[in-house]
């Protein structure tokens, strides 16, 4: 597919076919996805991949306990054969910005603390990788959903031994798509580009 087609075709998938996903394809997608820009080329976006039934089962136990599943709107999401957890390692950014070529500006001192960063670039960079993953999946005919860890996030961190300083952004479910319905949010439609594009300033030309 052309890139513009892939971008337009990508939609979140919340119902998956139980067909397994080959590890080689999963690895190919994840390896491609990580080729994203990163501040100082720090490359602190890590991907924790859960593609076995035990690890996926454990993930769902912690984030969607069995007693709550009956009312869950997207039961087919739990069939996704792979879950990829994007993790942003801020420690790599601190280390990178302590290197001589980046540590030169004493006013910024970005290597000293995450609090010195006006924008947490480790999250920005990790989000770029996630979008790459969603697009790469679409290009290969796979379905994908990025979703938040609204429940059990600390338990997931502990179980997966995610170190301090590494932030879990959420999870990407990946697999072969089954018949799906879009979320209610999609009915909102795309905002008018004229309202989103601010040519020359926030209010410029918007009498």
Query: Which stretches of the chain bind ligand FMN, using CB under 6 A?
Result: 11-12, 14, 146-148, 183, 185-186
Nearer to ligand FMN, 40 or 76 (CB): 76
C-beta of 14 vs 92, nearer to ligand FMN = 14
Q: Which is nearer to ligand FMN, 80 or 94 (CB)?
A: 80
CB of 13 to ligand FMN, least distance (A): 8
Alpha carbons 118 and 197: distance in angstroms, whole number: 24
* Smaller CB separation from ligand FMN, 15 or 43: 15
**CA atoms of 3 and 193, how far apart (whole Å):** 20
Question: Closest distance between ligand FMN and the C-beta of residue 127, in Å?
Answer: 8
φ/ψ region of 167 (left if φ > 0, alpha if ψ in -120 to 50, else beta) reads: beta
CA 87 to chain centre: 8
- What is the closest distance, in whole angstroms, from the C-beta atom of residue 159 to ligand FMN in the complex? 19
Q: What is the chain's alpha carbon radius of gyration, rounded to the nearest angstrom?
A: 19
Q: Do residues 45 and 120 make contact, with C-beta atoms less than 8 angstroms apart?
A: no
Q: Measured from the CB of residue 169, what is the shortest distance to ligand FMN in angstroms?
A: 8
Q: What is the C-alpha to C-alpha distance for residues 161 and 173, in angstroms, rounded to an integer?
A: 20
- CA–CA separation, 85 and 98 (whole Å): 28
Q: Which of 68/99 has CB closer to ligand FMN?
A: 68
Of the two residues 107 and 187, which places its CB atom closer to ligand FMN in the complex? 187
Give residue for tokens 């004229």: 194
What is the closest distance, in whole angstroms, from the C-beta atom of residue 137 to ligand FMN in the complex?
12
Q: How many residues does the chain have?
A: 207
**CB 183 to ligand FMN: min, Å:** 5
């Amino acid at each position: 597919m052309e890139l513009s087609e892939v971008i337009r075709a990508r939609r979140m998938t919340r119902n998956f076919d139980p067909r397994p996903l080959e590890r080689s394809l999963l690895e190919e997608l994840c390896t491609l996805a990580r080729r994203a820009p990163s501040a100082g080329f720090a490359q602190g976006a890590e991907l924790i991949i859960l593609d076995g039934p035990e690890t996926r089962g454990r993930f769902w136990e912690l984030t969607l306990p069995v007693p709550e599943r009956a009312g869950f709107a997207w039961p087919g999401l739990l069939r996704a054969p792979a879950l990829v957890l994007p993790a942003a390692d801020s420690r790599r950014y601190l280390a990178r910005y302590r290197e001589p070529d980046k540590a030169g500006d004493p006013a910024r001192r970005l290597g000293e603390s995450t609090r010195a960063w006006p924008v947490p670039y480790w999250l920005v960079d990790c989000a770029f990788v996630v979008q790459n993953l969603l697009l790469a999946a679409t290009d290969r005919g796979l379905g994908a959903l990025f979703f938040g860890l609204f429940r059990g996030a600390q338990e997931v961190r502990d179980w997966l031994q995610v170190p301090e300083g590494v932030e879990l952004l959420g999870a990407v479910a990946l697999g072969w798509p089954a018949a799906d319905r879009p979320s209610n949010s999609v009915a909102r439609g795309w905002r008018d580009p004229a309202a989103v594009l601010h040519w020359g300033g926030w209010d410029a030309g918007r009498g």
